[in-house]
Structure 1
Amino acid sequence: MKAVIVRDRTTSGDVFHERVLEFSRVPITVRDLIRERVRAEAMDFNRNPAARVYHGLVPPADAQCIPVGDLVEYRLGSHRRIEWEPQLARALEGFARGDYFLMVDGRHVQDLDAEIAIGRGTLVSFVKQSMLVCC
């Protein structure tokens, strides 16, 4: 397994979330990376039946976007299961729209089909253009 460090950053460079994703085959594409990230976020949320705040790349369709300082929380009225496939579609649309961009080891990657060679300490930053790009 190869690991990638995934960080969420503001355009000013502040890191507000970090996780590690593992892949069994390499290289991966940007699309593969986004898919695995979104799937992992949905699984994390679904494991906690008391959760009402979704910590993900994009909000679920019916979430309220609540500003919290320089960040935004995605709040649901009550807990429900999040299906990752619709979240993936929203994330890919957001990438195409420019709601966020990716930096891989300091290099801006713009193509969903671009390959990412995963090495020791590969760092991917998801940079949201505006924290208020929301629902």
Structure 2
Amino acid sequence: MPLLTILDETASGNVLHRLELEIAQETLTVRELITRRVHDEVTAYNERQSGTFQGLIQPTESERVLNGYQLRPRKLIDAEQQVYKALEAFQQNGFFVLVNDRQAESLDEDVWLGAGATASFVKLTPLVGG
């Protein structure tokens, strides 16, 4: 099964987090890509249920810490709620997705994820001030 490399990057190109996802098919919609990524990271956290959650979207009832989110008290994260929040954030320009260095425009867009493919998730930081 081919591996897709997923990178969380800053707008300046610094890599914050890297993970690999097994992908069975060569094309997915952006919606399916985000859903798979979020489900995998939530499942991994819920299985170990310790340390910080390094995910795309901050879980409810968590606080931001260096390199992730800390849940207090420790509890399971709802994967479906995280997927919903992630899809909504994509639509509201909270982050954008580059697949093989090409920006995805919509959730229903098909993207190629064959051997050697990469997907970069770039979170946008809101400007402070007026």
Match of 2:112 among 113, 117, 123: 117
Q: Please provide the CA RMSD for this pair.
A: 1.7
Match of 1:98 in 2: 93
In the TM superposition, residue 116 of structure 1 has moved relative to its aligned partner by 1.1
**Unaligned 5+ residue runs, structure 1?**
none
Match of 1:81 among 58, 72, 76: 76
Once residues 126 and 72 of structure 2 are traced to their aligned partners in structure 1, the CA distance between those partners, rounded to angstroms, is 21
Match of 1:16 in 2: 16
Q: Which letter maps to 2:14?
A: D
Once residues 115 and 24 of structure 2 are traced to their aligned partners in structure 1, the CA distance between those partners, rounded to angstroms, is 14
25 and 120 in structure 1: CA distance in 2 versus 1, 3 angstrom threshold:
closer
Matches within 5 A, 1:27-66: 27-49=27-49, 51-66=50-65
Equivalent position SS for 1:17: strand
Equivalent position SS for 1:110: coil
Say if 2:97 and 2:104, in contact at 8 Å, map to a contact too. yes
Once residues 24 and 107 of structure 1 are traced to their aligned partners in structure 2, the CA distance between those partners, rounded to angstroms, is 21
Say if 1:52 and 1:78, in contact at 8 Å, map to a contact too. no
- Give the percent of matched residue pairs that are identical in Structure 1 and Structure 2: 33
Once residues 100 and 74 of structure 1 are traced to their aligned partners in structure 2, the CA distance between those partners, rounded to angstroms, is 17
In the TM superposition, residue 63 of structure 1 has moved relative to its aligned partner by 1.1
Say if 2:55 and 2:68, in contact at 8 Å, map to a contact too. no
Equivalent position SS for 1:7: strand
Once residues 26 and 5 of structure 2 are traced to their aligned partners in structure 1, the CA distance between those partners, rounded to angstroms, is 15
Deviations 1:74-110 (A, max 9, x none): 1111211112100000000110110100111111111
In the TM superposition, residue 131 of structure 1 has moved relative to its aligned partner by 8.2
Q: TM-score, normalised by structure 2?
A: 0.90
Structure 1 outlier segments of 4+, above 6 Å: none
Once residues 73 and 47 of structure 2 are traced to their aligned partners in structure 1, the CA distance between those partners, rounded to angstroms, is 14
Match of 2:25 in 1: 25
Say if 2:58 and 2:69, in contact at 8 Å, map to a contact too. yes
Q: TM-score, normalised by structure 1?
A: 0.87
